[in-house]
Structure 1
Amino acid sequence: MPPSSLHYALVTVGTPGQTFMVALDTGSDLFWLPCQCDGCTPPATAASGSATFYIPGMSSTSKAVPCNSNFCDLQKECSTALQCPYKMVYVSAGTSSSGFLVEDVLYLSTENAHPQILKAQIMLGCGQTQTGSFLDAAAPNGLFGLGIDEVSVPSILAQKGLTSNSFSMCFGRDGIGRISFGDQESSDQEETPLDINRQHPTYAITISGITVGNKPTDMDFITIFDTGTSFTYLADPAYTYITQSFHAQVQANRHAADSRIPFEYCYDLSSSEARFPIPDIILRTVTGSMFPVIDPGQVISIQEHEYVYCLAIVKSMKLNIIGQNFMTGLRVVFDRERKILGWKKFNCFSPSTSENYSPQEARNPAGVSQLRPLNNSAPAALYDSLLLMLILVHLAVN
């Protein structure tokens, strides 16, 4: 199997602060950390300098969410009125997190000439039992839910008036990026309306056409944007059209089927080449905006000195999911206030440029998130964006 690739961010929670490297997931809502965890054993190497478990009793600002809270969805399962349980079940087979809800502070820092520390009271899950992919290092240090529901961190920050009800994520091609809470738009971005299902709200949009190289076609389908999914999953007819059109235009030897690789279309790389010319893939939205796929593939090591380039799309039976690989090289704006998805090619380390950036120029203070203020007012005012550094981590999942 090729390694799974997820973006993580360092976040600091509690008093005194404990730092965790959490996976970022727009496909789920709750922020949870491994906590008093009998049902899971995160690897000690989950993150350099990060804590293994969140321990509420060691934080003077931690308090349990009571059973009668509006945030408590499992009130009928409360064993005590003082503590609300939670259980999150994920799409991956047998994958879940359960425990109880707590409130604590998340540390933020203003990004200006005189940085200020801001403590935002948020809600999170104290995860006592993890199952499935979480035991295979999918999110060994916790999961940062960025979904639409009111329990997600973007929702809480907006409810408290700290940021606008929007955020963006920038995925650098070098594996480093950032998440920016409160970021709504730029004047030159492409955008399209979000198709929000009230029963199961996700960041979904309608695609009305696909172009692969010199082959455009009309095709209507709905797809979800999910940063918690490494690769892109497409059902027919979109999957067959893209893969076959791609294959017809690639001048390379197709690699024989390999049960270790989940991708159907892979191509042999010679020792002298890292890549070969590939056709552009562009998705046309219902508004006519064009979503460019910067690099849809992944280079995989088959054995020593032998590599293949794979079109990193997995065939799905039903759901269409745009994963992280299709978002690489873009800043994607999840504007929940305007119900808009926006995007543009972007330099993750400078708001105004798109090339020649240097990760060394954008280092965060260790364990502290960054917040850029709208003006020079006190930290309680509205801020235009909260910044977190993202790190792409490759995890070998069997």
Structure 2
Amino acid sequence: MSLSRNSHVSVWLLSLLCLSYASCCFGFGTFGFDIHHRYSDSVKKILDVDDLPEKGSFRYYSDLAGRDRLIHGRRLATENDQTPVTFLAGNDTYRLSLFGFLHYANVTVGTPGLSFLVALDTGSDLFWLPCDCTSCVHGVNTSSGVVNFNIFSPNKSSTSSKVPCNSTLCELQNRCSSRSSNCPYQVRYLSDGTTSTGYLVEDVLHLITNDNKSKAVDALISFGCGQVQTGSFLDGAAPNGLFGLGMDKTSVPSILAKQGVTSNSFSMCFGPDGIGRISFGDKGSSDQGETPFYLRQSHPTYNITVTQIIVGGSAANLEFSAIFDSGTSFTYLNDPAYKQISESFNSLAKEQRFQMNNVDSSFPFEYCYLLSSNQTRYKYPTVNLTMKGGHQFFVNDPIVEIRSEEDANLYCLAVVKSDSVNIIGQNFMTGYHIVFDREKNVLGWKPSDCYGTDNSNTLPIRPPTSSPVPATTMNPEATAGNPNNSPISGAPPPMGNHSPKLRHLSYALTMILIPFLAMI
């Protein structure tokens, strides 16, 4: 695609995104944008990628868990009432099937502005982009041709400058040859040699107020000019950059708060259809559930404390800490939490447990159940976590549905036994507006389908009593529930159901826009 055509596509895409944003995203009082998912049907169809596993197959979930294992090891080497803000292209986020089962957003950086489709990760701090790179992903090969990505270059942006080693933002000063040399950075993952390496730069991140006035805001931020990407970054995970949302001073939420652009809080909404929202400065609402962050660590994360596990209405008092991580597909628990939730679920499941003897060892789930060929509906035990402080967090959809190679229908408890930290992943966050309030040091949550202007159009917490058997192509993003609103607190019924995905105009627009997100 030529540069001229790119510019026209950018204008067209921005107009459509802003129309969609204006119709559904006001009311958070924040800067926000939509997020998308790697294995979504829309991306798979539009980008026409042939090498993706069939949705709902054993390989599908094995691949997702493999991505999670890469993400788990990451480590960085290195009160005002402001109007909340979001990205210039709008507050939509997209869960893209093609790129690592992470949530993505279209961000605009530099002068003239260039768009990048970046992965959103609350488990990392630094924002980095492919930049004058010798090892990075320049595009995606599909059967219809090459989809090209933008590559950032400080020399081509009139507002860009390099961060020197004597800056307070430089965390690797011991690697500098002099105080005036460029500040290096490195984001390192412990698995499969996955890294991003380069130097820090400053430039403008183009934002817009998340209100009816839609006022443009240009924030000067620092980010990584990623010259060398290795490992998973060359194989589909975050191919066009990664947007760190962690607690460190290098993260964009920290920079925006320090500059007084917005409050030191942000939110992410994880929609059941793979479309969500992100908003900077969003402090949530008075009726949300809340729990304090557990911050007694050398590298603070969004770590919370669970005090009770409730499966099928039966409660077990068990205290453990867990990280809320948007960069992880599933929920990972150590013993005794894993044993408690899985064995309780197993004791209440009505169907026969599926024998995993012939399933590849990379398949992540241990507790799966066989549905008979003539079975038209099924029930499964509900799952609820009680957080420190007493507020309850109901899991809208604790299962995934699978069709085996023998053409058998299964459902599995979507919790993986961890050999390291406990992580609450995206699957448990689906159907919630999650607030990361760094001023109050609390995590907030409220049921939402991510389309309501004020979160009033919420997902149900109390599911119906039965569920349809999955179709040939399974839908792991489906949501349990009925059309009635329910409060945060209160014990759920013992069994839940599986229901179809929500369908909205914005989702249809997204199916049209996704290929252009990757090309502009």
5+ residue gaps in structure 1?
366-388, 394-398
> Structure 2: 5+ residue runs without aligned partners?
1-58, 65-100, 459-482, 484-501
| SS of residue in 2 equivalent to 1:183 | coil
Alignment pair present for 1:97 and 2:206: no
In structure 2, the residue corresponding to 1:38 is in which secondary structure? strand
Distance 2:214 2:503 in 1: 22
Q: Which residue of 2 aligns with 1:53?
A: 151
**Which letter maps to 1:24?**
L
Larger mean CA deviation between 185-194 and 248-257 belongs to 248-257
Whether 1:144 and 2:247 are equivalent positions in the alignment is: no
- CA drift at 1:91: 5.0
Helix, strand or coil for the counterpart of 2:505?
Answer: helix
1:304 to 1:21, Cα distance in 2 relative to 1, 3 A: farther
2:452 maps to 1:353: no
1:348 counterpart letter in structure 2: C
CA distance in 1, matches of 2:319, 2:139: 43
Q: 1:98 to 1:212 in 2, by over 3 A?
A: same
Q: CA deviation at 1:84?
A: 0.5
**Corresponding letter in the other structure for 1:326:** F
Kept after mapping to 2: 8 A contact 1:275/1:309: no
The one-character-per-residue Cα deviations of 1:110-155 (angstroms, maximum 9, x if unpaired) are 3444432221111111111222322221111111100000110100
Q: Distance in 2 between matches of 1:275 and 1:117?
A: 50
Give 3-state SS (helix, strand or coil) of 1:37's partner. Answer: strand
Aligned twin of 1:325: 427
* Of 211, 217, 221, the match for 2:320: 221
1:19 to 103, 106, 115: 115
Aligned match of 1:381 = none
Query: Secondary structure of 1:326's match?
Result: helix
AA matched with 1:360 = L
| Residue 307 of structure 1: how far off its partner (Å) | 4.5
Is residue 166 of structure 2 the alignment partner of residue 68 of structure 1?
yes
8 Å CA contact 1:213, 1:281 repeated in 2: yes
Q: Say whether residues 1:276 and 2:378 are aligned partners.
A: yes
What per-residue deviation string (whole Å, max 9, x for no partner) do you get for residues 279-334 of structure 1?
Answer: 11111112111111111222234348554322221111231111111100011111
Identity of matched residues, %: 53
- How many Å separate the matches in 2 of 1:62 and 1:363? 36
CA distance in 2, matches of 1:49, 1:60: 27
Distance 1:119 1:10 in 2: 16
Q: Which residue of 1 aligns with 2:135?
A: 39
Does the CA-based 8 Å contact 1:18-1:50 persist in structure 2? no
Q: Which moved more, 1:30-39 or 1:75-84?
A: 75-84
> Letter of the aligned partner of 1:18 in structure 2?
L
Task: Map 1:102-251 onto structure 2 (within 5 A).
Answer: 102-251=201-350
C-alpha offsets along residues 329-375 of structure 1, whole Å, 9 cap, x if unaligned?
A: 0111110000111111113122241248874359999xxxxxxxxxx
Q: Mark the CA change 1:98 to 1:273 in structure 2 (over 3 Å): closer, same or farther.
A: farther
- Partner residue of 1:262 out of 364, 368, 383: 364
CA distance in 1, matches of 2:444, 2:376: 32
Q: Which has the higher contact order (CA 8 A, sep 6+)?
A: 1
Note closer, same or farther for the CA distance 1:336–1:45 as it changes in structure 2 (3 Å cut): farther
What letter is aligned with 2:134? D
Contact 2:432 2:447 in 1 (8 A): yes
SS in 1 for 2:243: strand
Could you tell me whether the CA contact under 8 Å between 1:347 and 1:353 is conserved in 2?
A: no
SS at match of 1:244: helix
* TM-aligned CA deviation for residue 60 of structure 1: 1.4
The answer for the alignment partner of 2:463 in structure 1 is none
Change (3 A) 1:217 1:141: same
TM-score, scaled relative to structure 1:
0.85
Is the 1:349–1:362 contact (alpha carbons within 8 Å) kept by the matching residues of 2? no
Specify the code of the residue in structure 2 equivalent to 1:28. Answer: S
Specify the alignment match of 1:377 in structure 2: none
- How far residue 55 of structure 1 moved from its aligned partner, in angstroms, is 1.9
* Greater percentage in helix: 2
Moved more, 193-202 or 174-183: 193-202
- Cα deviation, residue 189, structure 1: 0.5
Among 318, 331, 343, the alignment partner of 2:445 is: 343
Kindly provide the amino acid, as one letter, of the partner of residue 282 in structure 1.
Answer: N
Question: In the superposition, relative to structure 1, how do residues 272 and 333 fare at CA in structure 2: closer, same or farther (>3 Å)?
Answer: farther
Q: CA deviation at 1:20?
A: 1.0
Equivalent position of 2:399 in the other structure:
297
Aligned partner of residue 347 in structure 2, secondary structure:
helix
| CA RMSD between the two structures | 2.6
* 1:285 counterpart (387, 394, 400): 387
| DSSP-derived class of the 1:287 partner | coil
Give the whole-Å Cα distance in 2 for the aligned partners of 1:269 and 1:62: 58
* Alpha-carbon distance between aligned partners in 2 of 1:275 and 1:146, rounded to the nearest angstrom: 40
Aligned mates of 2:375, 2:103 — CA distance in 1? 27
CA drift of 1:105 comes to 0.9
- Once the two structures are superposed, what CA deviation does each residue of 1:144-189 show, in whole Å capped at 9, x if it has no partner? 1000001101001101111110011110111111011111121111
Distance 1:126 1:318 in 2: 31
Alpha-carbon shift at residue 49 of structure 1 (Å): 7.6
Distance in 2 of aligned mates of 1:333 and 1:217: 27
1:83 corresponds to:
182
CA contact (8 A) 2:137 2:240 kept: no
Do 1:18 and 1:51's aligned partners in 2 also have CA atoms closer than 8 Å?
no
Structure 1 residues 66 and 136, CA, compared in 2 at 3 Å: closer, same or farther? same
Query: 2: distance between equivalents of 1:173 and 1:330?
Result: 9
User: Residue 230 of structure 2 aligns to which amino acid in structure 1?
Assistant: T
Q: Which amino acid counterpart does residue 243 of structure 1 have in structure 2?
A: S
Cα shift at 1:251: 1.6
